[in-house]
A and B are shown apart, each in its own frame.
Chain A
Amino acid sequence: AQKVTQAQTEISVVEKEDVTLDCVYETRDTTYYLFWYKQPPSGELVFLIRRNSFDEQNEISGRYSWNFQKSTSSFNFTITASQVVDSAVYFCALSEGGGTDKLIFGTGTRLQVFP
């Protein structure tokens, strides 16, 4: 069965620290997509990144970076030099390709960045 595990329920850091949010997934398919979403206190989930299963290149966008490793079924998210505005709940999600429809979410990691 498809599953996404975010083992870290809550992480607290002080501003400017680097922080990594872990995501481990399970799927039988060879074609699938992985996502990260951010949910700030306002409640609306914001799309951050999509990665397909054939592209294992790491991605960097400003202070955000993602490490996709098929060998360990992980898609970890690192925030460099964290800021208070990074405080949010972060969700990792899995979607299978090939016409299936469900997006399977992890339980989320709450990140608190203190000044």
Chain B
Amino acid sequence: DVKVTQSSRYLVKRTGEKVFLECVQDMDHENMFWYRQDPGLGLRLIYFSYDVKMKEKGDIPEGYSVSREKKERFSLILESASTNQTSMYLCASSTGRDSSYEQYFGPGTRLTVT
């Protein structure tokens, strides 16, 4: 079974803090994704990565950065957390070069910024 794990299920941070969300997959997938999920908005893509050290912006990259130093690990960084970044963050991975393949999701990290 594909397993995607995220470092925390719940996280509370203060405004202005630097926040790291970690995601690890164990199936040697090339592609990894970070989404945020907000009520009424569905899932929105923040960043994705095709390969180690490769990254591309999704639909809402502002205020975020990512890092992929190893194939299995994809980190989402909030450089200076703000209250409007309070959300559920979901990491996913998939095989294949394009998104015609299904994505496998982690359990999510619910981040609260106070």
Contacts and interface: CB of A to CB of B under 8 A. Distances in A.
A42 B98 contact: no
Contacts of A102: 45, 48, 58-59, 99
Given A100-B99, A102-B99, A107 B42 contact: yes
B98 A47 contact: no
Q: How large is the interface on B (under 10, 10 to 19, 20 to 34, 35 or more residues)?
A: 20 to 34
Given A105-B43, A106-B42, A100 B107 contact: no
A56 B83 CA distance: 44
A101 B56 contact: yes
With most chain B CB atoms within 10 A of its CB, the pick from A103, A106, A107 is: A103
A64 interface: no
Contact of A95 (B58, B100, B104, B105): B100
Interface of A: 9, 33, 35, 37, 42-47, 50, 52, 91, 95-103, 105-108
29 contacts: A9-B40, A33-B99, A35-B102, A43-B107, A43-B108, A43-B110, A44-B105, A44-B108, A45-B105, A47-B102, A50-B102, A52-B100, A91-B42, A95-B100, A97-B98, A97-B100, A99-B97, A99-B98, A101-B31, A101-B50, A101-B98, A101-B99, A102-B99, A103-B99, A103-B103, A105-B43, A105-B44, A107-B41, A108-B42
